[in-house]
Amino acid sequence: MADVSTIALEAKSPYELRVHLGDAVPEQSVREALASGDMGFLHSYTTGSTVDGPGVRLVAWTTGCQWRCQYCHNPDTWTMSNGIPISVAKATETLSKYRHGLKAMAGGLTLSGGDPLMQHRFAVKLLAAAKSLGIHTTIETNGAYHEKLSDAELDVIDLVMLGIKTFDARRHRALTGQDNGPTLEFARRLAARRKPIWIRFVLVPGLTDDLEDLARTAEFAAGLGNVERVEVLPFHQLGRFKWERLGLDYALRDAAPPLQELTEQALTILRQAGLKAF
Ligand code: SF4
């Protein structure tokens, strides 16, 4: 196993493959940490991101996700013990070093993953610490575990970047292995609390390019009233090597990125529904 003490938590890119970094933590300690939120597991963090929320962001990539999206570009984040164990105190100390810069660049902290709500106690504690430092907070999530958060805990999150993979329930299950009901429920819950949402939608030719399905997503999103923008993310193959190195069966090995024309069609559908789409 790798010597965790020699591995930098800061990564040049989230595309670094990281495995087994938390294996040495006894299972009982993992359970206690998850229950208290005093310790979490991070794949890595990156600084200077301009694509993970408003302004310039510090992004902490958590490990743990129970979904199995066919196009996932970070499958090494699925397993919690692949991440480096870190106390919430240590993570807060690192965060506080960046606070002036983040504020000056109208940015903040983004928790992404994996899915940050797999470690919801840790996520809440870290986000609350960020808030107390005056730092804007964002989580990027599939929303499946939103019920773990109370309404008061939701208040430590300024913005939710919600992944809507596809609208049709059957297609969603085939794409991710999970139901999209909780994701849509979370969107409605956030709407009721007037919490801003940015929707993320990954466009994969032959997989998520059913334009009628996208029109239903657009109608749903536009009806919520709290969706500030929708980001259409063209599929790419940057995560392919991770699937191969992890010995996973990658169904999209020959899939191509969408043509510009398809991306434009998707954006038009979203904009016609009254959404700001990019
Ligand atoms: S929800 Fe995100 S981290 Fe989880 S499998 Fe899907 S793309 Fe990957």
Structure confidence at residue 256 (pLDDT): 95
Structure confidence at residue 10 (pLDDT): 80
CB-ligand 1 contact for 164 (6 Å cutoff): no
Structure confidence at residue 1 (pLDDT): 43
100 Cα–ligand 1 center, Å: 31
CB-ligand 1 contact for 65 (6 Å cutoff): yes
230 Cα–ligand 1 center, Å: 18
Identify the bridge partners of residue 181 per DSSP, sorted by sequence position. Answer: none
Structure confidence at residue 23 (pLDDT): 81
CB-ligand 1 contact for 14 (6 Å cutoff): no
262 Cα–ligand 1 center, Å: 23
CB-ligand 1 contact for 144 (6 Å cutoff): no
Q: Which residues of the chain are modeled with pLDDT < 70?
A: 1-7, 14
90 Cα–ligand 1 center, Å: 26
CB-ligand 1 contact for 82 (6 Å cutoff): no
Structure confidence at residue 4 (pLDDT): 53
Structure confidence at residue 7 (pLDDT): 61
Residue nearest atom 2 in ligand 1 by C-alpha distance:
114
144 Cα–ligand 1 center, Å: 11
152 Cα–ligand 1 center, Å: 26
Are 23 and 1 spatial neighbours (Cβ–Cβ below 8 Å)?
A: yes
SS (H, E, C) the chain: CCCHHHCCCECCCCCCCCCCCCCCCCHHHHHHHHHHCCEEEEEEEEEEECCCCCCCEEEEEECCCCCCCCCCCCHHHCCHHHCEEEEHHHHHHHHHHHHHHHHHCCCEEEEECCCHHHHHHHHHHHHHHHHHCCCEEEEEECCCCHHHCCHHHHCCCCEEEEECCCCCHHHHHHHHCCCCHHHHHHHHHHHHCCCCEEEEEEECCCCCCCHHHHHHHHHHHHHHCCEEEEEEEECCCCCHHHHHHCCCCCCCCCCCCCCHHHHHHHHHHHHHCCCCEC
Structure confidence at residue 56 (pLDDT): 97
Identify the bridge partners of residue 108 per DSSP, sorted by sequence position. Answer: 57, 136
Residue nearest atom 6 in ligand 1 by C-alpha distance:
69
Are 139 and 127 spatial neighbours (Cβ–Cβ below 8 Å)?
A: yes
